[in-house]
Structure 1
Amino acid sequence: MDFMNRHGAPDCHNPPADIVSNRRARRASHPRTASLIAAAGVLTAAALMNHHFAKRAERRNPPLGRFDEVEGVRLHYIERGEGPAIVLLHGNGSMIEDFTSSGLVDLAARSHRVIVFDRPGYGHSTRPRDRIWSAGKQADLIHAALARIGVSRAAILGHSWGASVALALAIRRPQTVCGLVLASGYYFPSARVDFALVSGPAMPLLGDIVRYTVAPIAGRLLWPLLMRKIFGPAPVPTKFRHFPKEMALRPSQIRAEAAESALLIPAAAATFRDYAALRMPVVIVAGAEDRLINPAGQSRRLRRAILQSTLRLVPGAGHMVHQTAPDAVMSAIEEMFSRVDARGSQG
């Protein structure tokens, strides 16, 4: 054999090709193995760091209100004021503190019973993984929660994704909703690549890895850019510093945000044909220069779809119209209630 020397012993200087190949493969595998171990170590360290930040955020931002166990959800909510009830539903990525920091809760509580929920997965409310939290499913949850706290009929204000929940509640439970204020909402399905791009952390397994490791860090880096987009062209108001962004960057809330990004177009597709059947007073309000959701393609179109609706476009305001123009949103609330009262007086 050619790998034996002239004494019949194996030739160590000229080993067979398969032995050489195996040696090279083992040497090549060492750097790959080391790289995988290093990557796993980095991801583990990131996960531990993000877990620490999440727990710290919850300690620094304790619940503002009360809890109720509703359909397996530990639902956090606040109540302020007295009078006709109005429920405020926040948008994607947000929580109760968005409305409290805006000043809208204080304005409305002067003459109304104001109820604000942390929707499932946001703030201090849980989001069980045994169901898909569509706008309709959340509407049913809010309806059950209102019944438990003794509210049989209320006006609903929804901002952004919260407007989708408000519409679903009005469509599914019209006897519960006396009027609607819809702010900066997405009402009609259209192609949106950006929604698909940010929905990754909602995926099982791989998405879980991303939201515990990379997503919170990326969120902190991109936060200033996101704020400019959702507030623009208006500047971010000083009062918004009270919004606890560290709560929004927890892995648990990132999953809710990603899931709702994926569900926004289906939510609009599931409800837009029912808008014309609504009979309660509807006031639509939006920033005239919203850079996230085009008011012409959404709010103006909704005004045409709901005959008894009115539209208020706020000049110079962007997507966060309740933050930059709370007085304008409060005026929309007052208009809605005046129309509710007029309907009641007419029998």
Structure 2
Amino acid sequence: MLRCTMLDWEALNGSDMRMGIVRTVRKSTARSSRSWTSPLVLATFAAAGALAASAVINRQATQKAERDNPPTGRFLDIEGVRLHYVERGTGEPLVLLHGNGSMIQDFETSGLVELAARTYRVIVFDRPGYGYSERPRSTVWTADAQADLIHAALQRIGVKQATVLGHSWGASVAVALGLRHPEMVGSLVLASGYYYPTLRADVVTASGPAVPILGDLMRYTVSPLLGRMMWPLLLRKLFGPSPTPTKFDGFPVGMALRPSQIRAGAAESALLLPDAFAARAKYVRLKMPVAIIAGEEDRIVDIDRQSQRLHDEIAQSTFDRVPGVGHMVHQSATERVMAAIDLASEKQTRTASTDKVVPFAAKG
């Protein structure tokens, strides 16, 4: 009897232990299952999936944009940088440098290239990182660095002196070219430029995709999609109060929203204030004719604090304030920009015939 009781007790006790282990395992499994299905984990997986999907979509959009808009110009290899440019017409050289986020097609759709090519040898560059030009990460592409690159490219194609037009950020490159290589620049045309540092909250937000790692993630995933959503708003800010002209429909939006071009634009946004700060005291060294032009209703740049101030500092400059026009003055007032080019070129010719310009040494 006692033996049976002991055996029964051991069996019962062993059964309880096994049941306890089973219950513990079940509880642990349940907790593990709940952790995998928690809102935070599910949200993380959903976000990762969305980012992966957007990366695929953006890659396909980039490939389509490049198929639809193949290079139309020539390529130069300048110090390891592949630079794309278009050349039209014959005559005295005219160099066109586009703004931040843009490319050759900006000038082409404006009609300025076709108009100028009637009397000038027009040379339009995709600046580093835009269109089909490379932008190696090994270089900080300040206005000075880009000016040196453009100078070397112009020398390569046999240009000794040119009228140089820069729009927006391209105006900073044009000024740097005039300061560092004055023998190359016969005259300057500066459209809607930014020359003096001011408080710019938009610079901070626009610089995000240039931040290493996080910026790379942004520009391959969310930035192109946000760019497409915000494109109509951006156009209103760029062109306003003028309507966006129908000719701008030919601008390849898909090319502008490629990850590589977004990085270039973000990097230049980050460099905007430092470059303006570095150049602010040098403008008086410009001795060639300078034609300044800007839209009076510019919503990107305060022209009184920028173009007007520059005009006041440069004795040999002219300033055309175009009423009712915004930042994209070359698109909205193409004939006025063409007139500024002709004026600068004529002054260059008169100066060359009466004076011998002594160039300043290039400085960093």
**Shorter-chain-normalised TM-score: which range?**
over 0.9
SS of 1:185's equivalent in the other structure is: coil
What is the percent sequence identity of the aligned residues? 56
SS of 2:203's equivalent in the other structure is: helix
Name which of 130, 137, 158 aligns with 1:122: 130
Which residue in 1 is equivalent to 2:236?
228
Which residue in 1 is equivalent to 2:90?
82
Name which of 211, 216, 237 aligns with 2:245: 237
Q: Does 1:98 align with 2:109?
A: no
SS of 1:182's equivalent in the other structure is: strand
User: What CA deviation, in whole Å up to 9, does each residue of 1:22-63 have, x standing for no partner?
Assistant: 964762354333332222121111101100100110010011
| CA distance, structure 1, for counterparts of residue 328 and residue 312 of structure 2 | 23
| CA distance, structure 1, for counterparts of residue 218 and residue 19 of structure 2 | 49
Q: Does 1:209 align with 2:217?
A: yes
Name which of 277, 300, 315 aligns with 2:308: 300
| CA distance, structure 2, for counterparts of residue 294 and residue 13 of structure 1 | 76
Name which of 26, 34, 51 aligns with 1:27: 34
The alpha carbon displacement at 1:14 in A equals: 11
Deviates more, 1:301-310 or 1:312-321: 301-310
| CA distance, structure 2, for counterparts of residue 165 and residue 248 of structure 1 | 20
Deviates more, 1:24-33 or 1:245-254: 24-33
Name which of 288, 291, 295 aligns with 2:299: 291
| CA distance, structure 2, for counterparts of residue 132 and residue 105 of structure 1 | 29
SS of 2:280's equivalent in the other structure is: helix
User: Counterpart of 1:144 in structure 2: which amino acid?
Assistant: A
Give runs of aligned pairs for residues 131-146 of structure 1, distance below 5 A. Answer: 131-146=139-154
| CA distance, structure 1, for counterparts of residue 262 and residue 206 of structure 2 | 10
Q: TM-score normalised to the size of structure 2? A: 0.89
User: What CA deviation, in whole Å up to 9, does each residue of 1:95-143 have, x standing for no partner?
Assistant: 0000011011111111111100000111111111111111111011000
| CA distance, structure 1, for counterparts of residue 127 and residue 120 of structure 2 | 21
Name which of 334, 338, 345 aligns with 1:330: 338
Deviates more, 1:31-40 or 1:76-85: 31-40
| CA distance, structure 2, for counterparts of residue 165 and residue 20 of structure 1 | 67
Paired residue total: 343
Give runs of aligned pairs for residues 301-320 of structure 1, distance below 5 A. Answer: 301-320=309-328
Give runs of aligned pairs for residues 262-273 of structure 1, distance below 5 A. Answer: 262-273=270-281
User: Counterpart of 2:35 in structure 1: which amino acid?
Assistant: A
RMSD over aligned Cα atoms: 2.1
Q: TM-score normalised to the size of structure 1? A: 0.94
The alpha carbon displacement at 1:86 in A equals: 1.0
SS of 1:273's equivalent in the other structure is: coil
The alpha carbon displacement at 1:72 in A equals: 1.5
User: What CA deviation, in whole Å up to 9, does each residue of 1:248-299 have, x standing for no partner?
Assistant: 0111111111111111111111111100111000010000110111111100
SS of 1:233's equivalent in the other structure is: coil
Structure 1 residue ranges (4+ consecutive) displaced by more than 6 angstroms after TM superposition:
5-8, 11-17, 19-23
Deviates more, 1:250-259 or 1:36-45: 36-45
Which residue in 2 is equivalent to 1:254?
262
8 A Cα contact 2:35 2:41, kept in partner: no
The alpha carbon displacement at 1:345 in A equals: 1.8
Unaligned stretches of 5+ in structure 2?
Answer: 1-11, 356-364
The alpha carbon displacement at 1:16 in A equals: 12
Larger radius of gyration: 2
Q: Does 1:158 align with 2:158?
A: no
Which residue in 1 is equivalent to 2:188?
180
Which residue in 2 is equivalent to 1:38?
46
| CA distance, structure 1, for counterparts of residue 200 and residue 282 of structure 2 | 22
SS of 2:150's equivalent in the other structure is: helix
Which residue in 2 is equivalent to 1:343?
351
User: Counterpart of 1:83 in structure 2: which amino acid?
Assistant: G
User: Counterpart of 2:55 in structure 1: which amino acid?
Assistant: A
Which residue in 2 is equivalent to 1:276?
284
| CA distance, structure 1, for counterparts of residue 295 and residue 184 of structure 2 | 28
| CA distance, structure 2, for counterparts of residue 116 and residue 307 of structure 1 | 28
| CA distance, structure 2, for counterparts of residue 168 and residue 113 of structure 1 | 22
| CA distance, structure 2, for counterparts of residue 115 and residue 277 of structure 1 | 25
SS of 1:329's equivalent in the other structure is: helix
Unaligned stretches of 5+ in structure 1?
Answer: none
